[in-house]
Structure 1
Amino acid sequence: MELDLTDMRKLPSEPYTRVMARVGVKLSTKLDLPASATVEEALQRLSDLDEPYDFLHLLAMALPTREAVWWACLAAGDLMQDPDLSATPSMIAAKGWVFNPDDQHRAAAQTAFEGADPNDNTRFCAMAAFYGDGTLGMGDLSREAAPPAAVSSAVLAQVMLTLGQSPHGLDSDLDLAIRRVIDIARGGNGRVSRGLLTEDQPDEQEMT
């Protein structure tokens, strides 16, 4: 994969190994990098090795929570062919939490996720939003930490469910997912077209 990985200002400055240790997850690909290597350096190595799935996995762990949930929302929108992100209660609730990450919207995400049909393949974006503040819930549960990989795993699941589901095929879906998350990591809104980033500059106000 030949990708432009510059100016990914939403990513943490800490080493990629610390990001993975905090989440408690390892990549499938063994990277011959020093422990002090940055997330960007790890992503570049994964790109050089043509390991797109671990590339997506690392970004699911490294992105700030709201940006990661937004990525999941857009993936669900692809799945449902719904750019307005309103096709299911899970999509509506997760989008609402991204714009307003308060207890009210978190409760809506919990209701949507827990009430979703098992065949609702958009439920993972609501799951990611529900665990977005890092705890098991509200009230007394707010004192209990959520599993450290809860958000990143839900985000990755939502993205992976989208791959290969469009008429464009797996390769095109994978390319879109990669270009989208790079745009989000740069501070963009992830609204990119297939094959290239959109000419419109990202609008960070979409998540502020």
Structure 2
Amino acid sequence: MTDLIKIQAATAAELLQYVDISEEASGYVIPDTAPEISINQLMEAGFFADAVKLLALGLPKRESVWWACLCARDIHGPQTDEDNTGALVAAESWVKSPTEERRLNCKGYAEKTRYKTPASWAATAAAWSHGSLSDPGEPAIEPPAHLYAHAVAGSVTLAAVLSNPVNAEKSFQRFLQQGLDLARGGNGKTAARATENQLVES
């Protein structure tokens, strides 16, 4: 029995077909059991980036993108430039109301920030959650259903490394607790610094 009520996948195998787990970490993954078991085992063994990948994909899109937003907001500060601030705000706005207009706004900021920061990847995750990957007016290219999770994982992982370059493990552990709280139906803030926005009820 799992308490990660937001994760719809019954087994880790359902997620593993869409993510690449490092060879070293693969021995801690049990495909035919609930994803929670593999996520916990990966965390305990110190394979945090692999745990992030599974959790990012296991969460519903809005909760997953919100997780990226929380982690990006955690390292947000006065030194953050205007475009990255805009990217983060755009992603947070999309979570509150995932309209096509807000998705396109995220897409624009993702391109401006060149996919190099946690905020940029959070905006990218929103942009890849629905709609089309192509520019307006061009033939539609529907994003693969799992694509958003790769951007979320990139955002969370990069935020952890930037938050504590000397000991990213502490940041990974804190961020993963946020994600697990979201998976339990929480708002992701139990182990996080306060942020200004809250995830609206799905």
The question of a shared fold, defined as TM-score above 0.5 by the shorter chain, is answered with yes
Deviation, structure 1 residue 90: 0.5
Maintained 8 Å contact 1:60/1:156? yes
In structure 2, runs of 5+ residues without a counterpart are none
Identity %: 26
Match of 1:191 among 189, 192, 198: 189
Equivalent position amino acid for 2:91 in 1: A
Maintained 8 Å contact 2:66/2:92? yes
Q: Which shifted more, 129-138 or 66-75?
A: 129-138
Q: Pairwise CA RMSD of aligned residues? A: 3.2
Equivalent position amino acid for 1:187 in 2: G
Partners of 1:48 and 1:68 in 2: CA distance = 22
CA distance 1:142–1:66, shift in 2 (3 Å): farther
Maintained 8 Å contact 1:131/1:137? no
Maintained 8 Å contact 1:15/1:38? yes
1:147-186 matched pairs, under 5 angstroms:
147-166=144-163, 169-186=167-184
For 2:33, what is the secondary structure of its paired residue? coil
1:15-26 matched pairs, under 5 angstroms:
15-21=11-17, 23=18, 25-26=19-20
CA distance 1:109–1:42, shift in 2 (3 Å): same
In structure 1, runs of 5+ residues without a counterpart are 199-203
Compute the TM-score of the two structures, normalised by the length of structure 2: 0.79
Equivalent position amino acid for 1:189 in 2: N
Deviation, structure 1 residue 206: 2.7
Maintained 8 Å contact 2:68/2:152? yes
The alignment of Structure 1 onto Structure 2 pairs a total of residues equal to: 193
1:1-208 matched pairs, under 5 angstroms:
6-21=2-17, 23=18, 25-28=19-22, 29-31=25-27, 35-81=31-77, 88-116=85-113, 120-133=117-130, 135-137=132-134, 143-166=140-163, 169-193=167-191, 206-208=200-202
Partners of 1:58 and 1:92 in 2: CA distance = 25
Deviation, structure 1 residue 45: 3.0
Compute the TM-score of the two structures, normalised by the length of structure 1: 0.77
Equivalent position amino acid for 2:110 in 1: F
Deviation, structure 1 residue 93: 0.9
- CA deviation profile, 1:9-30 (whole Å, cap 9, x unmatched): 0011332112222x2x221122
For 1:26, what is the secondary structure of its paired residue? coil
Equivalent position amino acid for 2:39 in 1: L
Maintained 8 Å contact 1:125/1:154? yes
Maintained 8 Å contact 1:16/1:39? yes
Partners of 2:180 and 2:170 in 1: CA distance = 15
